[in-house]
Structure 1
Amino acid sequence: MLMVTSRETKRWVLPKGNLVTGLSPHASAAHEAEEEAGVIGAACPTKIGSYAYRKKLRNGASLMVEVDVFPIAVTKELDEWEEQDERERRWFSLADAANAVNEPDLGDLLRSFRSSDIVRSGMRLANAREITQGFRMFHWFQALLPKQGNFFGLFEAHAVTLIAGSDALARLLQGGSGMADHIMEIIEREHQADDITREVLVTVRRTFLTPFDRSAITSLIGAMDDSIDQMQQTAGAISLYEVTEFEQEMKDMAAIIVDAARLIAEALPLLRNIHANATRLHELTERLVRMEGQADEIHAAGLKAAFKAHGKTNTLQFIVAREIYSHLEKVVDRFEDVANEIDGLVIDHA
């Protein structure tokens, strides 16, 4: 969690500010993050919550202000930014960030924005060699427990590919000179996900005892694999049509994909004890469903804007934009499928 100090009291706060004229709330949040903290990234249109605090105005008044908080997946840290001489910025763990702020409601909100071990390991698994090493550990563990299989470890390993693939997709839709590298990473992550999916299917066939019904296991890993398959198809369309600039609605959908991957990566380890974690699992899947609905709205708005801009004057450009929007929407839809599979497991086992 990236925090900055306030100008006057130098206490640790989130980058924040008033709504920017002409910008949506999440775009305003991204604007403030760049201005105050010098970071650029994919801002998810779905807020994670709100908190209130008392703000002292220049005229001496002290008024309550409500702040909506949006998650931003940082893709670039600037060396120079507008308020660098006025504030300090620092990365905190979630627990340290919650303890560093003065506002109790904000502290509670930060604690609710959970990061599981698999999310953190996703940031560490940066190349195929480390993934391969992880497979060696899975095979070793399976040798010790041949009757049960390591389904949970495989689910969580697949979540690593979802996080990495969604991050690469968000960077891809930022444009710039590194697009080819981001496309290649998505392809590599999809191949890694395929390897994990095959491992799950083989393990289902050779395992006597499984934690859930066999069809539930294959349906869950299948829905997860469909998600990253759609990411690859999105990248493939961008590469095929040599698209280098992207509408804000496309970037917003990519930001939703990033946050959806994070939520799924948090949910999967909780399946190890469904009964104890049923409430949190329901919260996560409910949020995923809401995000899918918001992605549908953004998709419709983006298509309409693209048609007005290019439908009559540049039909080919509109068709290309429509295909990219379609792929992005399907990624979010597949994440909703994962949420539904998890909900089914909660209903059956909690």
Structure 2
Amino acid sequence: MFGWFQRLLPHSGDFYVLFERHAVALMAAADALAMLTAGEGDRAAHLRTIRDQEHAADEVIRETLHEVRQTFLTPFDRGAITSLIGSMDDTIDEMNRTAAAIELFEVTSFDPPMKQIGVLIQDACKLIVEAMPQLRDVERNGRPLHHLTAKLVKLEGEVDVLHDNGMKAAFQAQQKNSDPLGFMVSREIYKHLERVADAFEDVANEIDSLVIDHG
């Protein structure tokens, strides 16, 4: 009888911990991607780290969806919770796709803009890691959260510029050296790197929505 009564009581899952755990996986993957594109350290280890962290993030997603189904009281609207964690997961998924393309095409050297994008992705993940604990008190932290999301959007714009400049340089190199295959590989890597940054903007938008609704 007591167990039955307990199941009827309202529950509030700790979604904040899940957000923060996912952000930690994001950060670890971004660190590995930055070192990979910089040509530093063990290439195979970086690829493995990105893949492992993507799997860790998937586990957080599964836990979050389970908590959403099981929890009576949630700190935010259920749709807002799944949208935020989903946008974060899109980011690490794109990092994993970038790593997979690098492995598939056996890319071992990277253009300067690719290296710079790797650093900006790292910077963006630091902002997400900083933002997640502040969601525990959105009403009080609305202003600093908005500043963080503005920085995220700015970084996405900087990646767009680097992407365009890198693609232009890769095309000019292809014209000069008659290397269409090299251009196609570069285009594929740039495409995935840009998609990582695009996903960051989605994370920023989801956080801003929470600030608007609860700040």
Give the alignment partner of residue 309 of structure 1, picking from 166, 173, 180.
173
Structure whose alpha-carbon radius of gyration is higher: 1
Give the alignment partner of residue 322 of structure 1, picking from 164, 187, 206.
187
1:292 lines up with 2:184 in the alignment? no
Query: How far is the alpha carbon of 1:266 from its aligned partner?
Result: 0.5
The equivalent of 2:102 in structure 1 is 238
Give the alignment partner of residue 182 of structure 1, picking from 46, 53, 70.
46
Residues 25 and 54 in structure 2, CA contact (< 8 A), matched pair in contact too: yes
1:219 lines up with 2:106 in the alignment? no
Cα distance 1:245–1:218, how it changes in 2: closer, same or farther (>3 A)? same
Q: Secondary structure at the match of 2:38?
A: coil
Residues 30 and 125 in structure 2, CA contact (< 8 A), matched pair in contact too: yes
Query: How far is the alpha carbon of 1:253 from its aligned partner?
Result: 0.6
Q: Secondary structure at the match of 1:327?
A: helix
- 2-side partners of 1:176 and 1:299: how far apart? 21
Query: How far is the alpha carbon of 1:294 from its aligned partner?
Result: 1.0
Identity over aligned pairs, percent: 56
After TM superposition, the runs of 4+ consecutive aligned structure 1 residues lying more than 6 A away are none
Query: How far is the alpha carbon of 1:315 from its aligned partner?
Result: 0.4
1:347 lines up with 2:184 in the alignment? no
Give the alignment partner of residue 155 of structure 1, picking from 8, 12, 19.
19
- 1-side partners of 2:130 and 2:160: how far apart? 23
Hey, which of these two has a bigger chunk of strand by percent? Answer: 1
Structure with more contact order per residue of length (Cα contacts < 8 Å, sep ≥ 6): 2
Give unmatched runs, 5+ long, in structure 2: 1-8
Q: Describe how 1:1-350 pairs up with structure 2 within 5 A.
A: 147-175=11-39, 178-311=42-175, 313-350=178-215
| 1:277-310, Cα deviation, whole Å (9 max, x unpaired) | 0110010001111111111011000000000001
Residues 311 and 318 in structure 1, CA contact (< 8 A), matched pair in contact too: no
- 2-side partners of 1:286 and 1:225: how far apart? 20
Amino acid at match of 1:184: R
Give unmatched runs, 5+ long, in structure 1: 1-144
Hey, which of these two has a bigger chunk of helix by percent? Answer: 2
Q: Using structure 2 for the length normalisation, give the TM-score.
A: 0.94
Amino acid at match of 2:188: E
Aligned length: 207
Q: Using structure 1 for the length normalisation, give the TM-score.
A: 0.58
Q: Secondary structure at the match of 1:244?
A: coil
Amino acid at match of 1:261: C
- 2-side partners of 1:265 and 1:321: how far apart? 30
Cα distance 1:188–1:311, how it changes in 2: closer, same or farther (>3 A)? farther
Amino acid at match of 1:316: L
Amino acid at match of 2:56: Q
Residues 169 and 235 in structure 1, CA contact (< 8 A), matched pair in contact too: yes
Residues 176 and 244 in structure 1, CA contact (< 8 A), matched pair in contact too: no
Residues 149 and 207 in structure 2, CA contact (< 8 A), matched pair in contact too: yes
Amino acid at match of 1:327: H
The equivalent of 1:10 in structure 2 is none
